[in-house]
Amino acid sequence: MTPDDTWTRTLDLGPPQATPTPDAPALPERYEDLGLLGRGGMGEVRRVFDRKLRRALAMKLTRWTRTSPSARARFLREARLTAVLQHPGIVPVHDAGTLDDGRLWYTMPVITGETFGDRIAAHHAGTVGLHRLVSALEQASRAVAFAHSQGVVHRDIKPENLMIGAFGDVRVLDWGLARWLEAPEDLAALEPEVAEGTRAGQILGTPRYMAPEQAAGQIDAHGPRTDVFALGAVLHHLLTGRPPYPGDAQQALQAALEGPPPPPDGPEGLVALCVRAMARDPADRPADAGAFADGLAAWLDGSQRRRRALDAVAEADTLSAEPARLRAEADALDARAEVLLAEVAAHEPAAAKRPAWRLQDQAKALRSRARTCETRALQALRAALNHDPELDEAHRRLADHYQRQSTEAEQQGDDDEAERLALLVQDHDRGAHARWLTGQGTLDLVTDPPGAAVTLFRLEEVDRRLTPTAERSLGRTPLHDVPLPRGRWLLRLRAPGREDVDVPALIERDQRWDTVAPGHAAPTPIWLPPVGALGPDDRYVPAGWFIRGGDRQAPDALPRR
């Protein structure tokens, strides 16, 4: 017996005595034998032709002419129980009877396709997607859920007992170990626990997918949650590519007794459902196969919504790549137009200026296209959040966009707009913009000579003038990585034998203020003139680079440089 075989072992009972029959049995007149389809330890399945209805069927027979009462009971129970469970995911029974040699039989449709085990192998070979198999497992779980609603538990769910047809139909096979929780009177005598005269100590199922209560032979504990464990074990196999309890049958049985296997790797929602379904205590599992199927459906729905959301993010990324290119082309056209206009005197006729104007019009159109691309990219990101409101990829891109806009507004002196956009950054931030949102920057300062005392003043608008307020000491130079809230500041530098020097500093969000000139690596120390070096009418302005322009509220404002 392999570890994937179904166990129907009762402790201390030997195998039934039986006599094998020839391969071609004498069938009822209605059926013509078309050959063997498959054979197991206790039965076989033959392809037959139904002369009455002119169709091919599968006929399942007991394999032996003399079969133990328990095996006959199991076969009859499977036939009658399957006939009662009328569901698209459960193979129907068309007819049943007894051959002249005493063997039992019943007919059912010929089932073609692949087992779930075959599909799992294909998935891990990279030829079948995870979503398709999770959807198939959900369908199988719905069929088991129907059985649970009828008071029936399967007790032998495993990949080999789940069949996927060529058209995506999923069937749950082999109900030979199924149990009625409250068996009808005509089937009660066919329950294996009754027919075999025992309850405690019987091990039924497949060890590699077996719930602890099955492995322990606790028949009275078998219920819908036992099937839920097996469905979770199939999901575990799907995620890992191997059965949850490896090894031979005895090793798998021992592992099943000791508890559930380690959680598999995989999508968070599926892993969580798998762990719940395979909980050692049945009370901690989903209540039945319907609840398990609902968990799979919820993951599929969320996964599909995430996939649509990621498609929208990809569209936004494609659109977002365009504005920079379009604006660069527009700048180049404007530069060419500027050269052409410089060569034309103001009094010359319009015809001389039209080539430059055409270039300017083309540049204007390109900038309009850039704005349209930006708008469509934002729409795509918002659409992504409609599909998946918690999608980090969309939130991060929106936060990045609003951060750039807020920084631009701040550099242009539009503090109100900068604050509005900063609130949008905060709305979409998932941690990456936390430092920027504090509104702090840093300050580095070196002086010549070093050791100057630094007093900090905040520049506040008083009577329409920037006025130093809120004095505090920063210590002595050199200063490195001094955190300061964004805004305008005044640094007053004092050193023995040196003139006091005032240095303005603009601290921007998440930016460093220092005296390193663009294109240079080392800072330029601020020189403190000796006492007496300045005349009474002199105003010392420390040498260094500065920001020019960028205030769009100023008349004839220049670009920020």
CA 23 vs CA 27, 51, 63, 110, 204: distances in Å: 12, 21, 10, 19, 29
CB 472 within 8 A of CB 451: no
- Tell how strand 453-462 and strand 465-476 pair up: antiparallel
Helix (H) / strand (E) element for 251: namely helix 249-258
Q: Which pLDDT score is estimated for 2?
A: 56
Coil/strand/helix, residue 548: coil
Take residue 536 and report the two structure tokens written for it. Answer: 């009474």
> Active-site residue numbers?
156
Q: Which pLDDT score is estimated for 12?
A: 33
Alpha helices by DSSP H, listed for 412-433, are 415-428
Q: Which pLDDT score is estimated for 470?
A: 78
Coil/strand/helix, residue 525: coil
Averages of pLDDT over each 10 residues, the chain, 561 residues? 52 35 79 90 88 95 78 86 92 94 93 94 94 97 97 95 93 90 55 41 82 89 95 98 90 88 93 96 96 96 92 96 95 95 91 94 97 97 95 96 92 88 96 91 95 95 87 94 92 95 92 88 93 90 78 63 63
